[in-house]
Amino acid sequence: MSTAFGDPGAHCMVFVNDEGQHSLWPVFAQAAVGWRTAHGPAARQECPDRMTENWTEMRECNLAADATTWRLCLAPNS
């Protein structure tokens, strides 16, 4: 059985929550409560590339110790 994550031709979405955590989902999935679309739909490899570029702080926003991290968490995703 093939999955959207194993198919290089598939399209995916990047979801983000209020803590700044990112998640990769197939294009047919809907964002769960507390998550919103940050990128996509886009080609399968474009989504993890986008996550790598934008999810540079792995700690949850509520654990971030510095103001720069908080600004990144509060900024709208582009």
Q: What digits encode the pLDDT tens for the residues 53-62? A: 877 766 666 6
Write down the H helix ranges in 1-75.
46-54, 67-74
Q: What residues make up the domain containing 35?
A: 11-74
Q: What are phi and psi of 7, to 5 degrees?
A: -95, 110
Check if the beta carbon of residue 24 is closer than 8 Å to that of residue 51: yes
Task: Answer yes or no: is 52 within a domain.
Answer: yes
* CATH number for 15: 3.90.820.10
Task: Answer yes or no: is 1 within a domain.
Answer: no
Task: Answer yes or no: is 5 within a domain.
Answer: no
pTM of the model: 0.68
pLDDT digits 0-9 by tens, 11-22: 899 998 888 888
Check if the beta carbon of residue 39 is closer than 8 Å to that of residue 47: yes
- CA gap 73, 64 in Å, rounded: 9
- CA gap 14, 43 in Å, rounded: 11
